[in-house]
Structure 1
């Protein structure tokens, strides 16, 4: 990190509070060489203004003082980002330090960025809504005309079949033509249905921000059981064992939205199980100091490194296998989570399995 050219002084701190890395910007600001602070406790170098006993107790944004090598003290704002391990506990922290005189400028930049993002999202939603509306008419026409074409083909072949003195060779040829024509029509119908399904999904996506939320107390253990019950047939077909570990909290949240999020994740977990071994899916609940986190781990085929960027992209598939799917489940789950300022991420090892983590703010726990 020290050579990364980060614009802000940055420290990497281990879970035990010891500094393990410092970048060049920190060296320039503090007067310490990186090796002079490496191995020291964070609070020996940076004092927390609210008296937090350690970095694990600090807020995401905390006022701090830096003890410079010259002995002077400098008031700063610390942006603390915990990095979570598989057990959902922070294994290190990234701490960016911002000088107080820069805070108005940083706030202004953030506000401008958020404003541009809001405008872009509105434009995207308007575009998606317009495109989906424009696509519906031709899709309906294609479905209607292919239906008529199927009927005409059947009638035409039936009339030919009634022709007198039809040789066995001609009858076999017409039978072949009939099968090929109906197969081609079937492909068109199937494609039209898929386009129609994708258009409907686009409509859902374009209206996500406007969907009213019906927040109520939701027992998350009960919600998971309900989702799994609706999937029991496919779970049975995959010879899959499901286990739910730990105590699950209750959240003040929209049950329909939450069920949609976890249905998409569990659907993928079942869909991408490895057929060469019995399936196993484990659902866990945990927390850190700011969030409650649900984890769904499977022993499926995993996601190849070169496909991982596709996971949250609409209409992209993070697999090279011919497995049915539209490529909307994960991006839709992430879009729904944004309504609650939640987040989703995953870890995967090809050939071993995948774990998806879903985090909600602790403020939703009831």
Structure 2
């Protein structure tokens, strides 16, 4: 069987944080814990000090009905309570002629009952007067300092502890005594800091849940619970909700080293987070009963409420100021075309929205610096570091600990808050170093040591004042600072987006104007180039007919070359106009086209039988119809078939095949030939204008496949090529309307 009192085998500073404080298996000595089966109220476990309080041997209660302890008369009311939804309501009972307060709660399969001797309770009027006085004192406080001082005074007056402190946590859970009242013969701990390990994470979590923790006698002997393991579930008993739960031996030793005899701690909770503690110490043993502890809990809650109110009031005041500045910045950004100028050179600057020593803006590879900042080269390096951070908002008050290079400029930038607007758009706020002299309650580095006698860690023994100078730390960035930065990010992003939209609209207008000019140029090209080309064609024809015989063989060859070049120029003008008209076409005249009939028309137009009598053209039957602009589809098939026929014409048995195939999850058309193929280096360029991979062997302008690609794009389709040089080509395409 595993004993629940065992500690982790590895002895290091994590032990304190990992100690199983909720199942220590023992209780304090000022009351008795009894665990029963809620189904039948049979007692299954009991604290061994039951002998002292109940007048019988503790093990005599095991296995007996709870009636054996409470009697028939009291048991009736207790059963009604335990079966109700208000199980946690305290109930007064008599046992062994002693008046007890019984506190019940469920823990898994177990019903746990805490029995504490009941002291004389003050009248309800006295309790009401106490709370009314507390409330009035808190309401009269004008600052957090006044509120904390009032809380210590009232707590000491109500409960009589020798020392009462307000203990506040920082961002790293180190604690500081910010208010204190004490007996005159005790040394002051006001202003002392304590490391986070003094109150480990699991202890802080319990304070959030249960809020008040009392240790009646630091020198008590822990009371075992018998049996150690619950018979109901064969697991250690979780007693984290019990007010009698024993105290960690490490914490007990810690209090003894501080010469504390008893303690009381009450949680100060602000916005759901543990802000700090009302910490009470007494030189001797001191017991507070349940009602007194409830009074302390109410006091801590009223303190927390008033503290939240004061912090919210201060936050609202700062937020209003920041909001006014942000609104002015928004106005400046609307009035100024350049965001950087609006943020940095207007009546209000972005550095005023958050308290800082200086700031920087990085947009479009340019820096704009305001106030005290690192140098530009240092900022470039810092920016590269921040770009690696996962979130749009980065902040730290200890930059040099994360980015050692920053140690060189910690005087101006120990703290940085950086807002990412978009890629290559960042805004920085910098806070200077605030050298702090921190007084610790003992050396924070000497947290614990190995105790051979106890075979565990022991806390430090010295709590004498230990001073440390902290450098490279700025004022911390508050939640409000981050909220303001995020709000500004939205404003800047919206402004940049609006500016980009204006720029796009202006460019679109320019593009439309250029498009119209290009259209006019195309028609002008038709008129201005066609006339001289046709004139040249006529002159060359006359020269050929009337004077060919007068020319030498070389002259006749030059004349033929001139006529060929003139013809090529005429074809080029036609293709350019054709391509231009595709780009400027306003829309498609969509209709259903019989593909086989359309291909037949194209083949007649190409005059395959007359011009290419050796070529075999195979058209697979039942080609699917096409939805599109018939004129454009004619151009599409005309260019593809003309290329296939032309570039296979030099083969011994030229062959062209037209059909469909299932590719890319759809039915696609293909035009296949056994011609010259396409060189590998030309495959990616073949659909661009004026790109040819065949030299002068075949006539052409290099625009045909560009026209094919453009027509298919207008029909929301795709075209691609499969080819190997010298082994033919297959052009695949599909259209979607």
TM tier relative to shorter chain: 0.5 to 0.7
Quick one: structure 1 residues 281 and 136, their matched pair in 2 at CA, closer, same or farther if it must change by over 3 Å?
A: same
2:624 maps to which residue? 249
Q: Answer yes or no: is the 8 Å Cα contact 2:620–2:659 preserved in 1.
A: yes
Q: For the residues of structure 1 that align with 2:537 and 2:608, how far apart are their CA atoms? A: 33
Q: Does 2:701 match 1:326?
A: yes
> What runs of 5+ residues in structure 2 fail to find an aligned partner?
1-388, 391-489
Quick one: structure 1 residues 303 and 282, their matched pair in 2 at CA, closer, same or farther if it must change by over 3 Å?
A: same
Q: Answer yes or no: is the 8 Å Cα contact 2:679–2:724 preserved in 1.
A: yes
Q: Answer yes or no: is the 8 Å Cα contact 1:304–1:349 preserved in 2.
A: yes
Q: Does 2:727 match 1:352?
A: yes
- Identify the match of residue 660 of structure 2 among 284, 306, 309: 284
2:479 maps to which residue? none
Q: Answer yes or no: is the 8 Å Cα contact 2:522–2:580 preserved in 1.
A: yes
Residue 356 of structure 1 and its aligned partner are, at CA, apart by 1.0
- Identify the match of residue 199 of structure 1 among 550, 573, 587: 573
**Going by fraction, where is helix more abundant, 1 or 2?**
1
Residue 304 of structure 1 and its aligned partner are, at CA, apart by 0.6
Quick one: structure 1 residues 292 and 130, their matched pair in 2 at CA, closer, same or farther if it must change by over 3 Å?
A: farther
Q: For the residues of structure 2 that align with 1:315 and 1:267, how far apart are their CA atoms? A: 17
- Identify the match of residue 259 of structure 1 among 630, 634, 642: 634
Q: For the residues of structure 1 that align with 2:534 and 2:600, how far apart are their CA atoms? A: 38
Deviations 1:285-329 (A, max 9, x none): 44656x652122223221011232442233332224602223222
> What runs of 5+ residues in structure 1 fail to find an aligned partner?
1-27, 30-100, 158-174
Instruction: Give the number of the structure with larger relative contact order, counting CA–CA contacts within 8 Å between residues 6 or more apart.
Output: 1
SS in 2 for 1:294: strand
Residue 251 of structure 1 and its aligned partner are, at CA, apart by 2.9
2:716 maps to which residue? 341
Q: How many residues align?
A: 241
Pairing 1:122-141 to 2, within 5 Å after superposition = 124-141=518-535
Residue 153 of structure 1 and its aligned partner are, at CA, apart by 3.7
Q: Answer yes or no: is the 8 Å Cα contact 2:660–2:667 preserved in 1.
A: no
Quick one: structure 1 residues 352 and 181, their matched pair in 2 at CA, closer, same or farther if it must change by over 3 Å?
A: closer
SS in 2 for 1:207: helix
- TM-score using structure 2 length: 0.28
- TM-score using structure 1 length: 0.53
Quick one: structure 1 residues 188 and 248, their matched pair in 2 at CA, closer, same or farther if it must change by over 3 Å?
A: closer
1:49 maps to which residue? none
Q: Does 2:558 match 1:184?
A: yes
SS in 2 for 1:272: helix
Q: For the residues of structure 1 that align with 2:558 and 2:513, how far apart are their CA atoms? A: 44
Q: For the residues of structure 1 that align with 2:542 and 2:612, how far apart are their CA atoms? A: 40
Q: Answer yes or no: is the 8 Å Cα contact 1:227–1:263 preserved in 2.
A: yes
- Identify the match of residue 609 of structure 2 among 213, 233, 237: 233
2:361 maps to which residue? none
SS in 1 for 2:660: strand
Q: For the residues of structure 1 that align with 2:652 and 2:641, how far apart are their CA atoms? A: 19
1:275 maps to which residue? 651
SS in 2 for 1:346: strand
SS in 2 for 1:258: helix
Q: For the residues of structure 1 that align with 2:519 and 2:685, how far apart are their CA atoms? A: 21
Q: Answer yes or no: is the 8 Å Cα contact 1:261–1:332 preserved in 2.
A: yes
Cα root mean square deviation, aligned: 4.1
Q: Answer yes or no: is the 8 Å Cα contact 1:304–1:350 preserved in 2.
A: yes
Q: For the residues of structure 2 that align with 1:354 and 1:327, how far apart are their CA atoms? A: 17
Q: For the residues of structure 2 that align with 1:145 and 1:229, how far apart are their CA atoms? A: 31
Larger Rg: 2
